[in-house]
Amino acid sequence: MHIDQSDFHDQLVRGLTHKMNNILSLFHGYIGLLMDDKKLDPATAAGLARIKEGAKAASDLMDRTKVLARPSSVVWREVNTADLLTGMRSNFDTIADGRVKLEIDVPNDLPSIWADITRLKTAITEVVRNACEASEAGGVVKIEVRAESQSSTNPSAAGKAAQPITWISINVTDNGGGVPPELDEKIFHPFFTTKHKQNATGLGLTVALGLVQQLGGGIRFQSNPGNTSFRLLLPSRTRQV
């Protein structure tokens, strides 16, 4: 019997993350019950709080890892570009958390994107999250969306979309410290991160790249101190293969 290795890998990732999330949810719940004990001394309460925080971080990691597997069902459709980005504004504001200023420039007359909307939203969110986390407090993250002509080269052979008539370019720029040139080739590697944060997973850009490639697009990256840009290229007006 022939076993497709890609399908086997995706099923394994989905199965493992589901099982681990069940275990972590149970663990998280019992820790919460223990913390309700009013007789706990401060040191024990603080220790339980750190364990609970760790369990939540592990659960979040499982959720982000699960996204790396190809979904069992995909719904391809035209997505209005302006409506999509406008509708995601509140999500972006939550990610920015008041630390950074968001500037969004999305013309209303853009072509629609051909995509699975769940994967599309996740990819954009991860890139915006990365930009916000890379910015210093008070910094600015700019999201600029444009349509590119047919002369653009296909950024990826992956995905189910055919050659598009136009590309939609979503450019996310931050004014953080940038990425050293010697690390350029590592930034999309799983679990690699330049951020000095306790809960940094190093999966955000890996997830974003994988999803954008599944949608038939690609990501361009350019970084200098004070100006780092991730450009998502996504297909518009295509036919499915």
CB 139 within 8 A of CB 174: yes
**H-run or E-run covering 171:** strand 166-174
Q: Looking at residue 68, what DSSP letter applies? A: T
Nearest to 21 by CA among 68, 61, 48: 61
User: What pLDDT does residue 241 have?
Assistant: 38
Domain boundary among 66, 96, 116: 66
Looking at the chain, the number of H-run helices and the number of E-run strands are 6, 7
pLDDT at 203: 77
Q: Is the pTM of this model over 0.75?
A: no
Q: Are residues 146 and 27 in the same domain?
A: no
Tokens of 87: 């509708």
Residue 166 · residue 111 · CB < 8 Å: yes
47: phi then psi, degrees, rounded to nearest 5: -65, -45
For strand 76-79 and strand 113-116, is the pairing parallel, antiparallel, or unpaired?
antiparallel
Give the residue, 118 or 10, on which the prediction is more confident.
118
How many domains, in total, are found in the chain? 2
Q: Which residue has the higher pLDDT, 70 or 227?
A: 227
194 and 217, same domain (yes or no): yes
Predicted confidence at residue 229, as pLDDT, reads 96
Which residue did the predictor score with more confidence, 185 or 112?
A: 112
Which of 66, 91, 111 is the last residue in one of the domains?
66
Residues 91 and 34 reside in one and the same domain: no
* 162-184 average pLDDT score: 84
SS3 166: strand
Alpha-carbon gap, residue 210 to 212, rounded angstroms:
6
User: Could you tell me the pLDDT band of residue 150, with boundaries at 50, 70 and 90?
Assistant: low
CATH classification of the domain holding 210: 3.30.565.10
Count other C-beta atoms under 10 Å from residue 111's C-beta.
17
Identify whether 227 is part of a domain: yes
Q: Which residues pair with 220 in a beta bridge?
A: 231
Q: Is residue 71 part of a domain?
A: no
- Top pLDDT among 171 and 157 is at 171
Is the pLDDT at 60 greater than 90, yes or no? no
Same domain, 98 and 205: yes
CB atoms within 10 A of CB 117: 14
Inside any domain, residue 241 = no
DSSP characters over 93-141: HHHHTTTSEEEEE--TTPPPEEEEHHHHHHHHHHHHHHHHHHSPTT-EE
- In this predicted structure, which of 15-29, 73-87, 116-130, 157-171 has the lowest mean pLDDT? 157-171
Instruction: Check residue 165 and give its pLDDT.
Output: 67
Average pLDDT over residues 10-36: 75
Report the alpha-carbon distance of residue 211 to residue 116 in Å, rounded: 10
Q: Which of the two residues, 208 and 12, has the higher pLDDT score?
A: 208
Range of the domain at 29: 5-66
What sign results for the dihedral spanned by CA atoms 178, 179, 181, 185?
Answer: negative
What local confidence, expressed as pLDDT, does residue 198 receive?
A: 55
84-113 confidence digits (pLDDT tens): 999 999 999 999 999 999 999 999 999 999
- Rounded to an integer, what distance in angstroms lies between the CA atom of residue 132 and that of residue 127? 9
Q: Is the pLDDT of residue 8 over 50?
A: no
High-pLDDT (> 70) share of the chain, %:
76
Q: If you average pLDDT over each of 47-51, 122-126, 178-182, which comes out highest?
A: 122-126
- Of 220 and 204, more confident: 220
Residue 28 lies in a domain: yes
Structure tokens at 74: 């995909």
Q: How far apart are CA 230 and CA 205, in angstroms?
A: 10
- pLDDT value, residue 87: 95
Summarize the confidence of residues 119-144 as an average pLDDT.
93
Long-range contacts of 31-40 (CB under 8 A, 24+ apart): 31/55
